[in-house]
Amino acid sequence: MRHRLWLILLVNSFLLSGCKTVPIDDTEQNQYLTTTDRRASDAIAIDKDIEQTAREKLQDNQELLGQSHIVINAYNGLVLVTGEVPDDTVKSKVLEIVSITPHVKMVRDSLAIAQPIDKATRTNDKQLAADVKAALTQIHTLPNFNSAMVKVVTEDGVVYLMGRVFREEGNVVINVTRLQPNIKQIITVFEYLD
């Protein structure tokens, strides 16, 4: 009996060792997003275009970027601008450039007038975002909810939650996010569907 158990364990370990994660290409990722995202497929593409176009316009304007750290995130035409800029003049120029980008419906300004955050803080922000995303995947109490419906953005310990959600979903997402350590603040940029 013991030999049989060892044989089963040995065979299973060989079978499981053959499993690996396979990276998906852009087409597969877009197909996944359109089945888990409440935006229309063209809205997903438009949001990517908004982000890229706004970044390119800002990069063309080097005096804005000299002492700044600017992050652009779009979701269904709503653009969240986070980061740090040296003064109100630069802030106004950044927001103007973003607001005249094609397909932008609204701009949410979360720029701080401060020195750019350091690399260690940016690394912590990435880890914080990953932790929040992982926690959101554990939500199983909401029908028709998928954690990919929520875009998580972090900047200097502040967590921004973007997406098209129902109020009940938004409340659960906020409560799950609130349980994560090292969060300074949670700001919702949800588009509510009810």
SS3 of 193, please? coil
> How many angstroms separate the CA atoms of 151 and 12, rounded?
37
d(CA 30, CA 44): 8
pLDDT of residue 11: 42
pLDDT for 36: 82
Rounded mean pLDDT for each run of 10 residues along the chain, 194 residues in total: 47 42 45 70 97 96 86 98 97 97 98 97 98 98 95 98 98 98 97 96
| Positive or negative: CA dihedral 145, 147, 149, 152 | positive
The structure tokens listed for 3 are 């030999």
Q: Tell me the domains of the chain and their CATH numbers.
A: 36-116 (3.30.1340.30), 117-194 (3.30.1340.30)
pTM score, whole prediction: 0.81
What integer pLDDT is reported at residue 63 of this predicted model?
79
Please report the pLDDT score of residue 34 as a whole number: 47
Secondary structure class of 18 (helix, strand, coil): coil
Cross-sheet strand order for the sheet of 106-113: 69-75, 78-85, 106-113
The confidence score (pLDDT) of residue 62 equals: 81
Report helix, strand or coil for 53: helix
CA dihedral 97, 98, 103, 107 (to 10 degrees): -140
